[in-house]
Amino acid sequence: MDIEIKNLFNLDETIAKDLLNNHTYPWECLPKIHDFIIQLGKSLDKDIYEEREENVWIAKSAKIAPTASITGPVIIDENAEIRHCAFIRGDVIVGKSAVVGNSVELKNSILFNETEVPHFNYVGDSILGYRAHMGAGSITSNIKSDKKEVIIKNENDSIKTDLTKVGAFLGDFVEVGCNSVLNPGTIVGKNSSVYPLSSVRGVIPENSIYKSKDTIVTKKS
Which tens digits make up the pLDDT trace of 70-109?
Answer: 999 999 999 999 999 999 999 999 999 999 999 999 999 9
Higher pLDDT, 72 or 220: 72
One-letter amino acid for residue 108 of the chain: N
The pLDDT value recorded for residue 93 is: 98
Q: Is the pLDDT of residue 173 over 90?
A: yes
d(CA 71, CA 207): 36
Q: Tell me: the pLDDT tens digits for 37-77?
A: 999 999 999 999 999 999 999 999 999 999 999 999 999 99
Task: Give the residue numbers spanning the domain of 13.
Answer: 5-218
User: What are the residue numbers of the active site?
Assistant: 119
The CATH number of the domain holding residue 124 is 2.160.10.10
Is this prediction's pTM over 0.75?
Answer: yes
d(CA 169, CA 27): 8
One-letter amino acid for residue 59 of the chain: A
Q: Tell me: the pLDDT tens digits for 108-150?
A: 999 999 999 999 999 999 999 999 999 999 999 999 999 999 9
Q: Is the pLDDT of residue 163 over 70?
A: yes
- Structurally, how many domains does the chain consist of? 1
Confidence of residue 1 (pLDDT cuts 50, 70, 90): low
Average pLDDT over residues 185-202: 97
Q: Tell me: the pLDDT tens digits for 18-27?
A: 999 999 999 9
